Amino acid sequence: MQRKTPSCVVLSHGYEESDALRKLSILAILLAATALLAGARLPPQGPMPEPRPDAGQATSPTSPSSEKAQPPAPEEVPAPQPKPDVKDPQAPASSQPPAPQAAPSKPGPAEPMQGPPRPPGSPESSQPPEEAKPPGEQTLEEQNLTIEPESDAEHAECTAALQSLGVVFKDTPRIDDGNGCGIDKPIIVSEALPGIKLKPEATIRCPAALALARWMKDSVIPAASAALPEQGRITTVNQATSYMCRLRNGAGTGKISEHARGNAIDIASFHFEKGEDVAVRSRREDSTLTGAFQRTVSAAGCLYFTTVLDPESDAAHETHFHLDVIERKGGYRYCH
């Protein structure tokens, strides 16, 4: 008796063969793709960016996009040219020739600054005004100075202080010599203190006379009594200059002298009852009591005057003391 093979076995066998063929096909496809990928290479040079089109020219729509612009070699880069004078804005820049470079011109004279219109009737002048000289180079006439006014109350207070010290003086009319030289309320002093004549009489302002009297009373007389007692008391003070209209040190240009304002007096010597006069001269190396007397009164002068110049200052003062009461900012004093 012969047994028949079931049909399910045949179907199963056919299905298995079909599945195997499908797997082999997939495997073959993968192998082929792998071979293609392995053989593929990147191009030796990647795409270069296209240069920016000229602003005055539109890109042609027919130009192929596959063409890549190559960068120019360094030696082919054109040198920069001056900006052309474009007359036609529609024409490309390359059609305009470069403008020739103009040679630098010499600077011309500066034009005068513009200002408000001149008032009617004012003279027209094509020349600029002359530059003002610095104060140190101006003459007395060029400085346009005026006499400083004095307060009546302050002058009365000052003269009362002179009277209490016994100073012999008198008032004199206002002095005005022009160019700022003069004294608003001058006085003439004949005795610096009671019994001490001032020769010649000095025309000065009251503040200068008051400083002189206080210096004599508090410093000069005590120093003379200590250093030169054998010569007796001081009887005369010899002055070289009081009021005088001039510049400092008699120069032709520069600042006005305090002598021209009545603020200064020059002391040349002291006369005693006995012995010789003590003349003011260079005594820096003088080790005698006379030298000590002069150096003492010179140093003490700065307690009463705002300026003291002695023979050690400069050649212009080698024979006298210059004493003045100029007012400076901050109360500054100059003593030498």
Say whether pLDDT at 87 is over 50: no
Say whether pLDDT at 241 is over 70: yes
Give the integer Cα–Cα distance in Å for 226 and 234: 13
| Mean pLDDT on 100-123 | 51
Say whether pLDDT at 48 is over 60: yes
Say whether pLDDT at 5 is over 60: no
| Mean pLDDT on 147-172 | 97
The torsion angles phi and psi of 260, rounded to 5 degrees, stand at -75, -10
Residue 308: other Cβ atoms inside 10 A: 24
pLDDT of residue 6: 46
* 3-class DSSP state of 225: helix
pLDDT digits (tens, 9 = 90+) for 168-210: 999 999 999 999 999 999 999 999 999 999 999 999 999 999 9
Q: What b/e string do you get for 221-230 counting C-beta neighbours within 10 Å, with b at 16 or more?
A: bebbeebbee
pLDDT digits (tens, 9 = 90+) for 256-307: 999 999 999 999 999 999 988 999 999 999 999 999 999 999 999 999 999 9
Give the predicted TM-score (pTM) of the model.
0.62
Q: Residue 31 region, left (φ>0) first, then alpha (ψ -120 to 50), else beta?
A: alpha
One-character DSSP codes across 271-331: EESSS--EE----TT--SHHHHHHHHHHHHGGGT-SEEE-TTT-GGGTTSEEEE----GGG
pLDDT of residue 135: 73
Say whether pLDDT at 67 is over 60: no
| Mean pLDDT on 116-122 | 53
48-62, 241-255, 314-328 — which is least confidently predicted?
A: 48-62
- Could you give the percent of the chain with pLDDT greater than 70? 65
**Contacts (Cβ under 8 Å, ≥6 apart) of 146:** 180
For residue 308 the two structure tokens come to 């003291």
Q: Answer whether 204's CB lies under 8 Å from 263's CB.
A: yes
pLDDT of residue 45: 60
